[in-house]
Structures are given as C-alpha cells and as structure tokens.
Structure 1
Amino acid sequence: MLVWERPEPPDRPAPAPLSRERIVRAAIGLADADGLEAVSLRKVAAVLGVGPMRLYGYIATKDELLDLMVDAVHAEIRPVGESWREVLHSLADTTRQAAHRHEWFADLIGGRPHLGPHTLAGGEAVAAAMSDVDLATAVPAIAAVNAYVIGAVRREITERRAERTSGMDKTQWQATFGPYLRRAFATGRYPALATVVHDGPHLDADETFRTGLGYLLDGIEARVSGSS
C-alpha cells in the first residue's frame, strides 16, 4: 500500500507526538537549510526529539519521505486563471517560485510522475483548464510547459549553487572569462556566436523565464487555434 493510502499509527500518549505532517515539515526544514544530503530518517528524528525507529510507523523508507516532501511543496503550487493560457502561465510561475524557496525541489522533479494528493490536485486544475482543448493538443502542451519550467529552474538553481561554490556572481564570472571569449572570437571561427554575445539582449533570469514562457504559450495558442 502506497504511503498516501496507508493509515498513520493510532494516537498514543508520548513525550513527542508524531504525524507524517510533522515529520515532513522537519525534513523540509533540513533540506531548505543544507540540501537533500542533510535529510535522513535519523536526522529528522533528532530534530523531532524522538528515536529513529518511531518514524518507521509513519514512513517506511527515505524514498517515501522524499515523495511526501515533494507533495508538500506541490501544495504551494496552485495554478489559477480564467483561461487555459493563464492557468499554464500560473503553473509555470508558481512552480518556479516554489523551486526558488526550496532549491532541493528542482532535484526531485522531472522523472516519473509524482502521485501525492497535492500533486494530483494541481494536475486536475491544469487538466480542467484545458478541458475544451482536444487531448492530442492538450497533453503535449502541458508536458511542454512542465519540461520548460523544469529546465529553466534547474539552470537557475545550478547558477545559484555555482555562485556559492565559486564565490563569484554572474558579473564576476563574466569578467573573469571575458578575456578568453574575446580571444576566441578574434580568431574568426565563431562569427554567429560573437554576434549573439555582442549584440543580443542581455536579459536577467526573470526576463529570460518570462520571455521564453511567452514564446512557448504563443506556440501552444497557435496550435490550439489551428485545431479548433
């Protein structure tokens, strides 16, 4: 029986009462502070002031704990809007915001579908918003938005981590490697790339995300209009 369907142990008097919600909140606190490597059933038990064995009545494995953590973050992702385009935009935006609050979340999305109740509720909201669009268009459209968001937030989180590891922000990194690029472009072997770097727009992360998402939604809208 999956963790979503398995009942919790009955309440009993204890110095430190437990629930899956309390366990998950403690695990998220550890991950937010120090990443997924800081999360273990032993460390969560220590935060809650209980022995590790008490957690096994609620959660059988670390994988179950990670599933519960992901679903708890999905409670923060509530796509809203009056049209399918607004809902897909909201899905992308709120997923990105959640990943910025919980960097580890970006490491756990993008594989097999998550099946927790909060995740399913978000999926229901998106599917309902696209209920008037034929499934042959709606299903790949939703998948495309999810893929765009996952790729974008992973790039952004990777950049954040690189800044912390290297001690250089984006401007400092560019200043360090700029001379190398100028020498490379001066060879004449990369004329198209040199034009992009020299003359292209230099957007920040928010602008890059919004612009790319807009292009994607424009393409979906054109396909929806063409199939109507």
Structure 2
Amino acid sequence: MLVWERPEPPSRPTPSPLSRERIVRAAIDLADREGLDAVSLRKVSAALDAGPMRLYGYLSTKEELLDLMVDEVYGEIVPPEPAGDDWRAALKDLAQRTRQAALRHEWFADLLGGRPHLGPNAMAFREASLAALADTPVATMLRVVGTVNAYVMGAVRWEITELRAERASGLDEQEWRRTVGPYLTRMLATGRYPATARMIAGEDVQPDFDEGLDWVLDGVAPRVTGGS
C-alpha cells in the first residue's frame, strides 16, 4: 500500500507527539536550510526530539519521506480556486507558481522529472494542467502540457543552479564577470567563437522566465486553437 493510503499509527500522549504532517514539515525545514543531502530519518527524528524508530510507524523509507515532501510543495502550487476558461492564463499561472515554490524550496527542483508523482497534491496539479486543455484532443493535451512543463523544469533548474554557484563562489554577478573577464577576452580574441563574441558585444539581456514562457505558449497556441 502506498504511503498516501496507509493509515497513521494511533496517536498517543508522549513528550514529542508525531504525525506525518509534523515529520514532513521538519524534513522540509531541514532541506530548506541545509539542502536535500542533509535530509535523513535520523536528522528529522532529532529535530522532532523523537527516536528514529518511531518514524517508521509513519513511513517505511527515506524515499517515502521525499515523496511526502514533494507532495507538500505541490500543495503550495495548486491554485486555491479552479482556473477559468483561459487555457493560456491557467498554464502560465501554474508555471509561475511552480517557479516561486522552487525558489522557496530549492531542493524541489532536484526531484522534478522521472516517474510521475502520485500524491494527492501532485495529482491535483496534474489535473489543473490537463483541465486547462480539456477541450483539446488528448494527444494535444499531453504534448502541450509536456512542452510547458519541460520549459519550466529547465528554466527553474538553470536559475537555481546559478543561485547555488553564486553562493558557493561568494561572488555576485558583477564580481564574477570581473574575475572571468580577462580569460574570456583572450578566448574570444582567437576568433574561434564569433557567435559568442557577438552575444557578449550585444545587449546585456538576462534570461527572463516569463518572457521565455510566453514564447513557449505562443509556440503551442496554434495546436490548442486549431490555427495553422
């Protein structure tokens, strides 16, 4: 039986009462502070002032804990109200909410992709995505949602990777550019990278999540609306 359907142990009066909700919240707090690698049943139980063996009454493995954590974040993404009839606005809202949640919980991006998440909140997220395209053929629905999700996952992972790299180096964007500037100048002077030189010499345009998302939605719009 999957963890979503498995009943919790009966509550009992103890100095440190437990529940799946408390366990998941402690694990998320730990991951937010120290990263996903820091999450272990031992550390979570210590944060709750409980013995590690007590946690096994609520989940069987660390993988189940990660599933519960991911589903909790999906709960932050799903809009409180059903979307209207504007498919584009609905998908854009879900994409923006996903990015915001991933920036609050950077580890969340590390767990996106792979097998579908099956928790109730993840299924509500998927339902909201598909429902936005309810009037389209199933094949179109799946391809549009898959295309938008691929953009969101890629853009969010790129953004979080840059944030992590900046923190690890201790340099902000301008300091980093000054550090690598002389090397780039020498490499571009070889003439082997003309497109890169053109890009650097042009406007200082930074990737913009919303603009890129609009381009993706523009690209799939004809499939949704039936245009050419």
Same fold (TM over 0.5): yes
Q: Which amino acid aligns with 1:6?
A: R
Count of residues in correspondence between the two structures: 225
TM superposition shift of 1:11: 1.8
Aligned residue in 2 for 1:180: 183
Residues 54-94 of structure 1: per-residue CA shift (max 9 Å, x gap): 11000110000000000000001025643111111011101
- Aligned counterparts of 1:185 and 1:167: Cα–Cα separation in 2: 26
- Aligned counterparts of 2:115 and 2:21: Cα–Cα separation in 1: 23
Residues 172-211 of structure 1: per-residue CA shift (max 9 Å, x gap): 11111122222222222222221122114512x5xx1111
Gaps of 5+ in 2: none
Q: TM-score scaled by structure 1?
A: 0.94
Aligned residue in 1 for 2:100: 97
Sequence identity, in percent? 62
Asked if 1:9 corresponds to 2:9, the answer is yes
Secondary structure of 2:76 counterpart: coil
Q: Is the 8 A contact 2:19 2:58 kept in 1?
A: yes
Matches within 5 A, 1:153-192: 153-192=156-195
Which piece of structure 1 moves more, 76-85 or 102-111?
76-85
- Aligned counterparts of 1:159 and 1:146: Cα–Cα separation in 2: 20
TM superposition shift of 1:151: 0.8
Aligned residue in 2 for 1:63: 63
Aligned residue in 2 for 1:34: 34
Q: CA RMSD in A?
A: 1.5
Moved over 3 A (4+): none
Aligned residue in 1 for 2:46: 46
Q: Which amino acid aligns with 1:160?
A: L
Asked if 1:139 corresponds to 2:168, the answer is no
TM superposition shift of 1:26: 0.4
- Aligned counterparts of 2:74 and 2:30: Cα–Cα separation in 1: 18
Asked if 1:121 corresponds to 2:132, the answer is no
Gaps of 5+ in 1: none
- Aligned counterparts of 2:203 and 2:222: Cα–Cα separation in 1: 26
Residues 86-130 of structure 1: per-residue CA shift (max 9 Å, x gap): 111011101100010001111111111110000101111111111
Secondary structure of 1:76 counterpart: helix
